[in-house]
Structure 1
């Protein structure tokens, strides 16, 4: 079964949320995303530069230019930043981890 990665972006021009799916994700991409995650963890760059890097990898590399990095930044609500990190984690780890119920 293929791991499908999706992103929902709000389009201000149409006032609608659009859903995009990623295609084939190869190991080279996984390596690139893993390197980015390590850089983010080290926290060597300003947060704005980090957000730009995340948006560019998502737009260009993961979703193969179906939208721009600016559309990622403008179409994602600020309280959903974690959804962008989940996309990066899915590239590295594969399937979305199942949430275990809290007892």
Structure 2
């Protein structure tokens, strides 16, 4: 990981969780070669554990010189009627979200 390539180290992204791609608004440019273009994904690994939690990891890499800009981790699981998402990456930031898979979200208060 190279914090010199970033505008902000691990920005708070709220409920945004990227399984693929990059948050280029936070990319200041490659510290090694000064490239300000797109990044590529390398060393992508997708794993699922016994509980059904999926974890996707990969590196954001400069297309010009193969400098590793950041490591990205995305997780997804289903627990008690909710989908849980999280992302942790120095480039893309930190985010998490919980989404109900039920027709009516039990967290929502019903007004009558």
- Does TM-score exceed 0.5, indicating one fold? no
Richer in strand (by share): 2
| CA radius of gyration, larger in | 2
Richer in helix (by share): 1
